[in-house]
DNA sequence: AAGACCTCCAACCGCGGAACG
DNA sequence: ACGTTCCGCGGTTGGAGGTCT
């Protein structure tokens, strides 16, 4: 429609953030289309919601995942597959987007490591390995992860509220080993496991929140 | 030094479902 | 019951910054 043509897209500016924060505080984090309109932001409601959910929400943690969180992600993903929002609900302060990104990055690494391993010990079956590996990698981390490793026919009803109790999961041992390896490597390379919070975030959020005296509103 | 390549993550898109009139 | 609007989810993309060659 006519409106869509003047909608802003792309990265949010600090002013936009401040404006959105103000209106969310005023009207709550619902009715995003309404918020987008009354705020005067030239953004869609969808875009506003996303910015709030993934970045501005003060309940969010920022910075590197802790090892505990990493474990939790792996464990929950093994139970639920790519149900990112569901996984995120179990990990306070983390968003589905963050977890999704984390998973993709780390599973890609794992897949690459596995590829290396299997090229050292190639399977007897295939000669056109690179193509099939590409496919396998994609399946593994893009489409439900470890669910794919389940034995065929084990799949029960939908994933609704199974909480993994009845799901048979196969490769957690491997995953734990990989995690241990990763942590060892991190220590060897003298990287702190508890990652540092991004200085950019420190700066911008701090300044953003400082600018607001929420007691003046409401 | 600089270009190529890689990693990370913010943001967008499309779709399905819930809510509402 | 049906159409419309809005919300939330999962998948994907693009760009910034870092690393490698």
In chain A, domain spans: 2-60+200-216, 67-195
pLDDT digits (tens, 9 = 90+) for A192-215: 333 333 333 343 444 444 444 444
Q: Dihedrals φ, ψ of A58, to 5°?
A: -65, -15
Query: Residue A124 CA to nucleotide B13 C1', Å?
Result: 41
- Asked if the Cβ of residue A110 lies within 7 A of any atom of strand B, the reply is no
pLDDT surpassing 50 at residue A140: no
User: Which is higher by pLDDT, A69 or A6?
Assistant: A69
Query: Residue A93 CA to nucleotide B6 C1', Å?
Result: 28
pLDDT digits (tens, 9 = 90+) for A57-93: 888 888 888 888 888 888 888 888 888 888 888 888 8
**Is residue A28 very low, low, confident or very high in pLDDT (cuts 50, 70, 90)?**
confident
Mean pLDDT of A122-139: 36
- Asked if the Cβ of residue A105 lies within 7 A of any atom of strand B, the reply is yes
User: Which is higher by pLDDT, A96 or A127?
Assistant: A96
- The predicted pLDDT at position A93 comes to 87
- The predicted pLDDT at position A111 comes to 63
pLDDT digits (tens, 9 = 90+) for A142-179: 333 333 333 333 333 333 333 333 333 334 444 445 44
Query: Residue A99 CA to nucleotide C2 C1', Å?
Result: 38
The rounded percent of chain A whose pLDDT value lies above 90 is 0
Look at the alpha carbons of A20, A26, A31, A35 in this order and tell me if their dihedral is positive or negative.
negative
- Asked if the Cβ of residue A139 lies within 7 A of any atom of strand B, the reply is no
User: Which is higher by pLDDT, A101 or A167?
Assistant: A101
- Asked if the Cβ of residue A102 lies within 7 A of any atom of strand B, the reply is yes
Nearest in space to A64 (alpha carbons), one of A213, A182, A207: A182
- The predicted pLDDT at position A189 comes to 43
- The predicted pLDDT at position A68 comes to 83
Query: Residue A47 CA to nucleotide B18 C1', Å?
Result: 20
In this structure, the protein residues whose CB atom falls closer than 7 angstroms to any atom of nucleic acid strand C are A 30-34, 45-46, 49, 82-86, 96-97, 100-101, 104, 142-144
Strand C bases within 7 angstroms of protein beta carbons = 5-13
- SS3 readout for chain A: CHHHHCCCCCCCCHHHHHHHHHHHHHHCCCCHHHHHHHHCCCCCHHHHHHHHHHHHCCCCCCCCCCHHHHHHHHHHHHHHCCCHHHHHHCCCCCCHHHHHHHHHHHHHHHHHHHHHHHHHCCCCCCCCHHHHHHHHHHHHHHCCHHHHHCCCCCCCCCCCCCCCCCCCCCCHHHHHHHHHHHHHHHHHCCCCCCCCCCHHHHHHHHHHHHHCCHHHCC
- The predicted pLDDT at position A77 comes to 84
**Superfamily of domain A2-60+200-216 in the CATH hierarchy:** Homeodomain-like (1.10.10.60)
- The predicted pLDDT at position A10 comes to 85
- The predicted pLDDT at position A190 comes to 43
């Amino acid at each position: 429609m006519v409106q869509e043509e003047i909608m802003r897209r792309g990265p949010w500016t600090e002013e936009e953030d401040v404006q959105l924060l103000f209106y969310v505080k005023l009207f709550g984090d619902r009715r995003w289309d309404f918020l987008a309109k009354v705020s005067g932001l030239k953004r869609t409601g969808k875009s506003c919601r996303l910015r709030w959910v993934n970045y501005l929400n003060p309940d969010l943690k920022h910075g590197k995942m802790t090892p505990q969180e990493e474990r939790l992600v792996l464990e929950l993903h093994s139970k639920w597959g790519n149900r990112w929002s569901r996984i995120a609900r179990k990990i306070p302060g983390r968003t589905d987007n963050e977890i999704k990104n984390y998973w993709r990055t780390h599973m890609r690494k794992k897949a690459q490591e596995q590829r290396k391993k299997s090229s050292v010990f190639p399977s007897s079956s295939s000669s056109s390995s690179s193509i099939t590996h590409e496919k396998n990698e994609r399946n593994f981390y893009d489409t439900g992860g470890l669910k794919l490793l389940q034995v065929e026919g084990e799949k029960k009803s939908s994933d609704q509220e199974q909480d993994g109790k009845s799901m048979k999961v196969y490769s957690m041992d491997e995953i734990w080993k990989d995690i241990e390896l990763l942590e060892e490597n991190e220590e060897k390379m003298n990287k702190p496991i508890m990652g540092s919070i991004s200085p950019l975030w420190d700066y911008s959020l701090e300044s953003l929140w400082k600018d607001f005296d929420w007691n003046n509103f409401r």
